[in-house]
Amino acid sequence: MSNSTKLAAQNQKPLGVSIICCTYNGKNRLQKTFDGIRNLIYDEDWEFILVDNNSNDGTTDFAKSYLHESNIVFKLLQCPTPGKNFALWMAFEAVNYRYILICDDDNQLFPDYLATGVDILEKNSNIGAMGGIGIMPDDISKPEWFDRYQLTYAIGSQAKKNGSIPKGWGLYGAGCFLRESGIRKLIELDLKITSTVSRGKELSGGEDIEICLALECLGFSSWFDENLKFYHHIEEQRLRWDYLLKLKSSIASNFPILEPYRFVISGESGSYLVFVLKQIPSLIWNFAFIQIVYFLRPQPKNKVFRIIYQYQMKGLFKNFRRSLNAFQKIKPIFLLNLNYIEKESTLCD
C-alpha cells in the first residue's frame, strides 16, 4: 500500500463533498454559480462554503438572500485578508466531508459533477487532486485567438486522456476536487501557500497549481477526467488581448516559486541550487531565439512566446532568492516529515 493510500485512509471524514467558493466583489457573477449549485444531483451529503474575501459590492447580502431562499446548506465566511490563498485556507479549516471541490465564482457546475467526481475518487484512493473541463458558454463572444490560449482561462481539456497526468503539471483550480485528508495533512505540516499571480481585480492566482503539487509531494497523484464539466462564465474584460499578455507574464514570472515542489516530486538527490541554475542556459537561449523570431515575424503567437520567455527569465532572477527560501521551508515539511508518515503508516498495517 502506497503512502498516499495509507494517508487517504487515515481518519477519513464522512463521505460527501464540501464545495468551496471564494469571491471578491462577485455579486454580479454569483447568480449562475448558485444556480449550478442548486441544480446538483447527488445522493450523499454535501455543503456549500462561500468565502467573501473583503468584498465591498454587497456580495454577502446577495448571497444570504439567494442561499436562504434556495434551501442550500451553506456556511458564509468572511476573510478580510486579500488573496485567494488566504480565503481557501480559511475554508479548508471549516470543511466537514471527505472531498473538497473548488468552484470559482464564475463557474456553473453540470448537475452530475459531484456524483461523477466522487465515484472516481472512491475507486482511486491515490488521487489527491482531480480536474475536469471548463466550457465556454455559447452566449459569450470569444476573440479569434482564444482557442489557442483557452487553458490559461481554465477552459478546455487538461490532458489527452482520462486518468493520471504527468507529475509536476498541476491542474487549474476551477472545478478541482481535492482529497480532504491530504489537505488536512498539509495544514498539520504547517505548509504556507506562497504562490500569487497578479490578475488585476480578479481573485485568482497560482495557488491552485501549488496545492496540487504539494499534494503530489505527499505521494498523491493528480488526475483529469473529461466527464467532469462546468460552464466558465468569463467576463468580457478578461477576453482582451492586453489582459491575456498580462496574465501570461504574471504566470511566467511566478514559475520559480513552484520549482521547489517539482524538485521534491522529481526525487532528485542533488542540490536544489544546482537544479535551479541548470535552467538558466535554456531560459537565455529560448529568450534570445524568440527575440529573433519575433523580429522576423511579429505575429501574435510569437509575441505571446516572447512574453512567456521574457518573464520566465525575469522571474527566475527576480525570485531566485525567494525560490531558494521556499525550498528551505518545504524541505523539512516533505523530505523529513514524510519519513515519519511512512513509519507511522507501517506501524498501522
Q: Encode pLDDT of 36-89 as tens digits.
A: 999 999 999 999 999 999 999 999 999 999 998 888 889 999 999 888 888 999
> What is the rounded average pLDDT of the residues 257-279?
90
pLDDT per residue over 125-180, tens digit each? 999 999 999 999 999 999 999 999 999 999 999 999 999 999 999 999 999 999 99
Length of the chain equals 349
Residue 46 to residues 7, 33, 135, 258, Cα–Cα distance (Å): 22, 16, 24, 32
Determine the residue type at 15: L
For the chain, what is the total number of helices (H) and then of strands (E)? 14, 9
176-203 residue pLDDT tens: 999 999 999 999 998 887 765 443 344 3
For residue 338 the three cell numbers come to 514524510
Reported as a pLDDT band with limits 50, 70 and 90, residue 102 is: very high
CA distance 58 to 127: 38
The C-alpha cell that represents 269 in the structure block: 538527490
Scored b (16 or more CB within 10 A) or e, 229-248 reads bbbbbbeeeebeeebbbbbb
Q: Which three cell numbers stand for residue 253?
A: 514570472
Average pLDDT over residues 219-224: 96
CA gyration radius, the chain: 20
Helical packing angle, 84-92 and 207-217, nearest 10°: 50
| Domains located in the chain, CATH noted | 3-237 (3.90.550.10), 259-348 (no CATH)
| pLDDT exceeds 90 at position 305 | yes
Cα–Cα distance measured from residue 267 to residue 193, given in angstroms and rounded to the nearest whole number:
21
